[in-house]
A and B are shown apart, each in its own frame.
Chain A
Amino acid sequence: GQQLNQSPQSMFIQEGEDVSMNCTSSSIFNTWLWYKQDPGEGPVLLIALYKAGELTSNGRLTAQFGITRKDSFLNISASIPSDVGIYFCAGLEYGNKLVFGAGTILRVKS
């Protein structure tokens, strides 16, 4: 099956800093999504990307779908303590199956 590689695996940043994480795949996905998971909770959809090159924002979050449809990045501006959590990229495979990356753990130092 298709694999998604996320980097970095974890980050520890100062409150107020901008954050960037990315995700790559060896195969093409038609739809790319970014989720956040808080401890003990299910993943929550942050941003969905549908078109190659698409740049989409959701508040302090910005994500872009790579031109080749094999990569995406997520930026968080001016991080705050509640941004702590695990961020997953996911690709929508044929049909309705989501393939998740391994996640980026974000820790924010206040």
Chain B
Amino acid sequence: EPEVTQTPSHQVTQMGQEVILRCVPISNHLYFYWYRQILGQKVEFLVSFYNNEISEKSEIFDDQFSVERPDGSNFTLKIRSTKLEDSAMYFCASSDFSPVTQYFGPGTRLTVL
């Protein structure tokens, strides 16, 4: 069964450093998303991406964040200058033509020291 994959599974970085989280969505999907989950809290929407542009973003997704689909298979989330409060699980998701059935990846745990 097709699945969303994410790398790395765990990323440790120093405060102020740039990180890039990578995702490979399901191959024929058209919509791509990033969510985050701070430890013990609920999953929060960050951004959605369709047709090579951001279609929606939350107030969390400030100028420090950016997304890119550099080729036909990868979808990345970049955090330019990480802060301690960026420590969380980051989930990538994708959906085909319907935003309802979003399939989530296993997540990347980001730890900012």
Contacts and interface: CB of A to CB of B under 8 A. Distances in A.
A31 B101 CA distance: 11
Interface stretch (B13-21, B40-48, B70-78, B79-87): B40-48
Interface string B1-22: 0001000000000000000000
A47 B41 CA distance: 22
Interface residues of B, number: 26
B17 to A, nearest CB: 24
B26 to A, nearest CB: 13
Given A42-B106, A43-B91, A99 B45 contact: yes
A44 interface: yes
Nearest to B6: A42
Contacts, number: 59
Interface residues of A, number: 23
A83 to B, nearest CB: 19
A88 B37 CA distance: 12
Interface in A64-110: 88, 90, 92, 95-103
Given A41-B107, A44-B104, A103 B56 contact: no
Nearest to B9: A40
B64 interface: no
13 contacts: A31-B100, A40-B107, A41-B106, A43-B91, A43-B104, A44-B104, A45-B101, A88-B42, A95-B56, A96-B95, A96-B99, A97-B56, A98-B33
Interface of A: 1, 31, 33, 40-45, 48, 50, 88, 90, 92, 95-103
Given A33-B100, A48-B101, 7 more contacts: A31-B100, A42-B105, A44-B104, A95-B55, A96-B55, A101-B42, A102-B41
Interface of B: 4, 31, 33, 35, 41-45, 48, 50, 55-56, 58, 91, 93, 95, 99-107
